Structure 1
């Protein structure tokens, strides 16, 4: 499979106008992707849990222009208000995908989008937002080419989403999604995410993710800049090798229901991600003092109770607390009594493993 597979030869139908709505979830990586090559190609493979409650809903209204113009024609509304500041990112996305969606300049688009979580919460919305938009555009293309198969639809949606935001390719389909070439993962690709193809023990079927909002401010270093700093990183080669090994290790862990192994891999991956940030040039720290307070509290609680709770981190200060559904009552009590004080305005979001994007 190459990029050429996603370039359409022609369309069998004509559409003048229409609209479509998709809701796409956020995701949290267990094996982290950090570092990328040209065209949003990951430097190492990753695997993520698709979430359920943290999602972006996007409606796309499209009207065929009387005359095709040289520029993209679109308006962008966020939470019911025009959002000019988002438009440059959409233009860059459209430029990247134009070869794969040649009809884009023939239509005027109205994009209306909203998140189920507060925009200022510190939760990255690029994964859910770009996957929702990619799915809306694929629904347009499906109208132009009704013979399109479902497999191709979702594969190309993930491919397009990746060109908007790398991790967005993991927010299209599946409760556990793998992205990036990995010799032990059947069907894996750098071009798109795939539904995890192997057995997953029932212990992981209803996994919970409570997101502790430690810092809701703007990150001082963007993920894009952080990824670029891996190009000349002293530890990059070892890190990429580690990601491949952890992905292989997770396959046995998922099959066996090995919670102890899961905790070890997931927490190690989270800390390695931030270690890469702290040892790049220039170096930076995205964790906050309260992030470390929470991590230490989780370790103390797990040691004292033997409850299989663990944490992971994105490229920011917030903490994702992961645990099986069967211990939900005990963990939520622990969060309320001991961790909430370290959250900005005592805020946290309860989420869980989901099943992918939905057309509404």
Structure 2
């Protein structure tokens, strides 16, 4: 397994003056939630392990163009332009600057080039879907493509694990968007190869019940996030229930190993919904405290519970750190669940908007 020092290159064997790459990388939805960081151990180290479904349709597409700079100006810092959907995006540049500062030790060529980063999302801007995971994953894949040009002998295994490692330094959950279809991030004793440094594909048997799983995202609130991820994670420092929560995440991930193997949808639903509610409970019991659900979030949750009980259909919900609801269900009941969503849940969505997504296979070179 790779360590941090393995990702610091010794020497490049080739040179390249200019060129461009383009990658798409998807968002992901955590089943066991990552909430809280171990800042004493370095940047973006999770306080507990997580596992997620890699999505397919909600993704970021990023084109990276690069051109060698004159040797005399390389010492002046990073040089890049950032475009979002073809327009200059100055307010996002500080985040990219911070990302470059964090990864420079692992990609020492960064100051040698001027970059143009041209990015867009397949989901609506300001839809309330976090794009940091897909965005940082797509950017990391592009930078790794450039490094592979400089070192063509690089193995595929190294390429993808380093991409996940770099993406994590931009946005923790981005490390789970490099590969599909189910990814574990964080040290977990019973999951071989798991690491705090990068995401790894779930290595054990996955029952057919969980193949092609569906995620319909109900857009309850499309506004800016009420609490940034950084602030939210920091709330776990000195949280009265933090240590028990971290233990719970390990326990739930252990339980999922057997659930995924046996295809037990009832037990899957219990863990996934409990994890979602626990995430929000941690924010409601932090100091300062926040309620990120909206009244319509609760209406949707109650409607899902009622529909499931009355029809014996294995549909469930999960939540990110916001008001939107991810409706999860097996592919073989897709028609029934979509009918339920269209008839009973769209009225709780902002402008009746929702996005149909499903499990995907991770980042793709375009």
Note the C-alpha offset of 1:191: 0.1
- SS at structure 1 position matched to 2:126: helix
Question: In the alignment, is residue 25 of structure 1 matched against residue 26 of structure 2?
Answer: yes
SS of the counterpart of 1:157?
A: helix
2:186 paired with 1:212: no
- For residues 198-277 of structure 1, what are the structure 2 equivalents within 5 Å? 198-277=204-283
Shift of 1:223: 1.3
- Partner of 1:26: helix, strand, or coil? strand
Decide which moves more: 63-72 or 177-186: 63-72
Helix, strand or coil at the partner of 2:344: helix
The match for 2:48 among 44, 48, 67 is: 44
> What is aligned with 1:73?
79
Q: Which runs of 4+ in 1 moved over 6 A?
A: none
The whole-number CA distance in structure 2 between the counterparts of 1:220 and 1:210 is: 22
Give, in angstroms, the shift of residue 201 of structure 1: 0.1
Q: Distance in 2 between matches of 1:278 and 1:323?
A: 28
Matched position secondary structure for 1:268: helix
Partner of residue 174, structure 2: 168
Within 5 Å, give how 1:105-124 maps onto structure 2: 105-124=111-130
- Gap regions ≥5 residues in structure 1: none
Residue 337 of structure 1 corresponds to which residue in structure 2?
343
In the alignment, which of 304, 310, 314 is matched to residue 298 of structure 1? 304
- Report deviation, 1:331: 0.3
Instruction: Give the CA deviation at 1:70.
Output: 2.4
Shift of 1:220: 1.8
Which of 51, 54, 57 is equivalent to 2:58? 54
What's the Cα RMSD here? Answer: 0.5
Aligned mates of 2:331, 2:259 — CA distance in 1: 17
Of the three residues 164, 169, 172, the one matched with 1:158 is 164
1:16-52 Cα deviation digits (max 9, x unpaired) = 0010000000000000000012210000000000000
Cα offsets for 1:155-195 (capped at 9, x unmatched): 00000000000000000012000000000100000000001
User: Matched residues in 2 for 1:10 and 1:316: separation?
Assistant: 44
SS in 2 for 1:27: strand
Output the CA distance in 2 between the equivalents of 1:26 and 1:155: 17
Distance 2:226 2:46 in 1: 23
Shift of 1:240: 0.2
Partner of 2:155: 149
1:95 pairs with 92, 96, 101, which one?
A: 101
TM-score, structure 2 as length reference: 0.98
Tell me how far 1:69 sits from its aligned partner. Answer: 2.8
2:20 alignment partner, SS class: strand
Q: What TM-score do you get using the length of structure 1 for normalisation?
A: 0.99
The alpha carbon displacement at 1:2 in A equals: 2.3
CA distance in 1, matches of 2:76, 2:11: 20
Once residues 174 and 221 of structure 1 are traced to their aligned partners in structure 2, the CA distance between those partners, rounded to angstroms, is 28
Superposed CA deviations along residues 107-166 of structure 1, whole A, max 9, x for unmatched, are 000000000001110000000000000000000000000000000000000000000000
Alpha-carbon shift at residue 341 of structure 1 (Å): 0.2
Structure 2: how far apart are the matches of 1:118 and 1:61? 24
2:35 counterpart residue number: 34
Secondary structure in structure 1 of the residue aligned to 2:13 = coil
What SS class does the counterpart of residue 69 from structure 1 fall into? helix
Give distance in 2, aligned partners of 1:306 and 1:323. 12
Q: Counterpart of 1:182?
A: 188
Greater CA deviation, 59-68 or 25-34?
59-68
